[in-house]
Structure 1
Amino acid sequence: MGVTIHDVAARAGVSVATASRALSGQRGVRAENRDKVLAAARELDYEPNVVAASLRSRTTHTIGMVVPRIANPFFATLVESVEKQLHDGQRSLLLANSHYEPEVEQRQVRALLDRRVDALIMIPCHRERSCEALTTAAARIPVLQLDLRVDGFAGSWVGVDNEAGVWQVVRHLAERGARSLVFVGAKPTDSAAQARLDGYRRAVGDGDDVLLGDFSKEWGQQAAKLLLQRGSLPDGIVCGNDTIALGVLGELAANQVRVPDDVLVAGFDDIPYAELAQPALTTVRQPQQQIAAEAVRVLDARLSGDETAPRSIAITPELVVRAST
């Protein structure tokens, strides 16, 4: 017979109830007793019966998360930040990928609900068509929108102030002497694409020189080709994200255009590859650890019943100036 919680309690010199609370991370256990229980569990190589514990507590200690595309470096690092926050609270993350398809997103949400996750963190792939999936989940468990949000959905959201970030870029390029700018972004099917486009248009005033595709390196390359075909480049190119910017930089380099001597280029997100670009990319850094911490804090408040009204938290991002400007 395997090691039981009774064995752990006996080794630690505490009651079974205290051992159970300590191992499940519940409050009301003195630090000294918690340390004894955790040490005893390690010494005995104790494996808790997760299924039985879930049935007793009606919680699985798991959080579901749906992202549009895990291959996107920004989403990948954001998932890592969320997972770390949950792991610190002794919870697990179940991850699903929507591939930017609302129908797939809906199926993934239902699958996570079938797995009895305690709550859902969702980066909705579409400003409008993701509403059904969110509504389905919100009818059963606490739901939090992260980074992106759905129009008209009355739920909590945590992300960055995208317009403020683009404003910082435009102001920086103007200070570097740029008088003509082009915005290369994504079609506004998600909230970040819309907010960054709106931020650019407000920042430049009467300017409306924009090229819209998607958040991909391939689109960045294509957009750079379109700009080169014009015969004269703008002073600065504001990119909707770093992946687009990397495509722009690659195409400009292939055509012997010098950055920043001939044109200034800036991105948004500060993905790990931004600093490794040639030249290193000026961008807007999203504080992912802070975003993840706020998201988990808001979700915990919902789960504990301390907070029922939806909250929207917009964190101001930081401009990181590098060689591309």
Structure 2
Amino acid sequence: MTGQKIKNMEDFAAVSGISRPTISKYFNDPESVRQSTRKKIEEALEKHNYRPNIYAVNQNRRQTKNIGLVVPNLTDPFFAEIARTIEGLIVEAGFNPLLLSSHGGPDQEIANLDSLRAIKPAGVLLAPLGRASLDKQIAEFTREVPTVLFDANLEDLGEAFFGSDNHQSVGLIVDYLCRSGEPPVFFELKTPINPNAYKRRSAYIAAMERLGHEPQLIQVDGQGWNFEEIGFREGGRVLNSGQLLTNTVLCSNDRIAIGLLSAAFESGIKVGRDDGAALRIAGHDDHPFSRFTCPSLTTVSQDYDAISASSVEAILSMISSGVRIEARKETLFEGKLVMRGSA
């Protein structure tokens, strides 16, 4: 990075030694310029830390009223709920939301972004897959189109990120579980697909050590987004193996916890807070279905409304001003403990 302030495309052309028309051609379609030229432009972008004003890239381009909204999987009620909230805010602001699901696949995630690029949206709100995401392709997209990330963070990509403070929320529920009964084990996938899961694992370990307890991880095999099935299948195996050294289980997310609740019922194990219960189960997220399980699931709620509103506000601000955010910002919102019947 240099100390010189690059204000516009003309300044960038001057410092990079590449003609203004060639740079415009690159930003309209990177594949339309020679590979050697493309490499030179990308090196200059990195060196000068320059992000072009999307509205100055092509003066003939008319701003659309479309805002793209990409989520990992619309079959997950968690993402369906937050997408519904964001769509409402976009419509209220006078724009058209274009909702796309990545169906849990990185190739589909890029295909969604390519489809949006083709219609030249005013901006995009992206909840990325996380570890499975193809970072290089997403980085190319975010250089062209104002993009705000939410839920899962990809470091240094997009103009801003809004999500949950996993360290705070996991610490909150670990405190409660230790205060109200036996310290919990942490039940999770061995190789999670969402970066939030890794943060929750670290937060659990830190909270247990802070309270003077030995962290215990139960890591199970499983792939994809079928968390309830994994919780049921692997949870049943764990419950019947005598592997648990405590009567309290904290699951990495509510969907895994819902599967574990079902496995406990199948095994004839009573779950709850009363004296006759043999097991306590808690989750994270306050999934839309968590209040309707039997017993209802104790969990930590994410602040859906704040995440949604802040994400939409950030993209609308860029659209209205025509100015990209210079310094990427990350905003985390605290969770709230939701005590129900399961723990």
TM-score, normalised via structure 2 length: 0.74
1: distance between equivalents of 2:147 and 2:158? 11
Q: Which moved more, 1:210-219 or 1:311-320?
A: 210-219
Quote the offset at 1:137 in angstroms: 1.6
What secondary structure does 2:291 align onto? coil
Partner of 1:322: 340
Q: 1:180 to 1:282 in 2, by over 3 A?
A: closer
2: distance between equivalents of 1:255 and 1:208? 22
Partner of 1:241: 253
1:208 to 203, 206, 216: 216
Given that 2:71 and 2:101 are in contact with CA atoms closer than 8 Å, whether structure 1 keeps it comes out as yes
2: distance between equivalents of 1:58 and 1:186? 47
Quote the offset at 1:182 in angstroms: 3.4
Determine if the alignment matches structure 1 residue 229 to structure 2 residue 245.
no
Quote the offset at 1:271 in angstroms: 1.7
Q: Which amino acid aligns with 2:300?
A: V
Q: Which moved more, 1:221-230 or 1:170-179?
A: 221-230
Q: Deviations over 1:84-135 (max 9, x none)?
A: 1111101111111112221111111000111221111111113364312321
Partner of 2:122: 118
Given that 1:185 and 1:239 are in contact with CA atoms closer than 8 Å, whether structure 2 keeps it comes out as no
Q: Which moved more, 1:182-191 or 1:75-84?
A: 182-191
2: distance between equivalents of 1:93 and 1:226? 43
TM-score, normalised via structure 1 length: 0.78
Determine if the alignment matches structure 1 residue 257 to structure 2 residue 273.
no
Partner of 2:318: 302
Determine if the alignment matches structure 1 residue 280 to structure 2 residue 291.
no
Q: 1:91 to 1:57 in 2, by over 3 A?
A: farther
Q: Which consecutive unaligned segments of at least 5 residues does structure 2 have?
A: 1-58
Q: Deviations over 1:280-307 (max 9, x none)?
A: 1011111211110010111122222284
Q: Which consecutive unaligned segments of at least 5 residues does structure 1 have?
A: 1-54
Within a 5 Å distance, the mapping from 1:8-157 to structure 2 comes to: 58-127=62-131, 129-153=133-157, 155-157=159-161
1: distance between equivalents of 2:61 and 2:158? 29
Q: 1:107 to 1:306 in 2, by over 3 A?
A: closer
What secondary structure does 2:145 align onto? coil
Q: 1:87 to 1:97 in 2, by over 3 A?
A: same
Given that 1:281 and 1:322 are in contact with CA atoms closer than 8 Å, whether structure 2 keeps it comes out as yes
Q: Which moved more, 1:266-275 or 1:179-188?
A: 179-188
2: distance between equivalents of 1:64 and 1:144? 10
Q: Percent identity?
A: 26
Partner of 2:168: 164
Given that 1:186 and 1:193 are in contact with CA atoms closer than 8 Å, whether structure 2 keeps it comes out as no
Q: Which amino acid aligns with 1:59?
A: Q
Given that 2:139 and 2:158 are in contact with CA atoms closer than 8 Å, whether structure 1 keeps it comes out as no
Q: Deviations over 1:217-245 (max 9, x none)?
A: 00111221122232264221111111111
2: distance between equivalents of 1:186 and 1:317? 24
Given that 2:74 and 2:80 are in contact with CA atoms closer than 8 Å, whether structure 1 keeps it comes out as yes
Partner of 2:191: 187
1: distance between equivalents of 2:137 and 2:77? 24
Partner of 1:219: 230
Partner of 1:35: none
Quote the offset at 1:186 in angstroms: 6.2
What secondary structure does 1:99 align onto? coil
Given that 1:106 and 1:132 are in contact with CA atoms closer than 8 Å, whether structure 2 keeps it comes out as no
Matched pairs, number: 271
- In angstroms, what is the RMSD of aligned CA positions? 2.1
Q: Which amino acid aligns with 1:181?
A: V
1: distance between equivalents of 2:183 and 2:60? 65
